[in-house]
Chain A
Amino acid sequence: GNSVTQMEGPVTLSEEAFLTINCTYTATGYPSLFWYVQYPGEGLQLLLKATKADDKGSNKGFEATYRKETTSFHLEKGSVQVSDSAVYFCALILNAGGTSYGKLTFGQGTILTVHP
């Protein structure tokens, strides 16, 4: 089956530190990859995505590169802010119909706390 594994949290950083959250996946087919962010008490917001190998998704200073050879999609940000404190979810969806429609497979989430 399909699965997504994220690094264990929580992750605690000081403001302006470098962030990496590791994400690896297994998929029975060819997936698109996503990072979603969830702020306290809210739903999921799409942070960035990549649809094919070597694509780099980026948004709000966050980046992730689709690495097919290592089945990874690690999230990075050069300088985190207190406002980045949230839960980050890595996810995949197969680029196929049938049992893939609407079905994202999520990692367990990584809690990020950034201190001033």
Chain B
Amino acid sequence: KAGVTQTPRYLIKTRGQQVTLSCSPISGHRSVSWYQQTPGQGLQFLFEYFSETQRNKGNFPGRFSGRQFSNSRSEMNVSTLELGDSALYLCASSLGAVGNTIYFGEGSWLTVV
């Protein structure tokens, strides 16, 4: 069974640009959540989607957005990139019910220059 797949794995962007990251969940999983990992702040929750609806959201500015498609695949977008957005962005999936285990992908490494 394939795991959570994220693309691209590595990317470099310039300040002010925008970026879109993609995530394919484990087959059968309907919940996708996103996390940002930085050395200073650690792992922080961005948002969670289930059946194309955002069910939960962390404390990030509106420049960070996401969506989920009918096949449960998800994308997140960061607009007007800042240097501080450089991070590992992790996608995770689960079946979506309370208590279900959350499985992570390999992550997308974003560098903003």
Contacts and interface: CB of A to CB of B under 8 A. Distances in A.
Interface of A: 32, 34, 36, 42-46, 49, 51, 89, 93, 95-109
Given A101-B50, A102-B31, A102-B92, A43 B98 contact: no
A32 B99 contact: yes
B33 to A, nearest CB: 3
A99 B42 contact: no
Contacts of A100: 56, 98
Nearest to B105: A43
Interface residues of B, number: 29
26 contacts: A34-B101, A34-B102, A43-B4, A43-B6, A43-B107, A46-B102, A46-B103, A46-B104, A49-B101, A51-B99, A89-B43, A95-B99, A97-B98, A99-B56, A101-B50, A101-B96, A102-B31, A102-B32, A102-B48, A102-B55, A102-B102, A103-B33, A103-B48, A103-B56, A106-B42, A108-B42
A93 B33 CA distance: 13
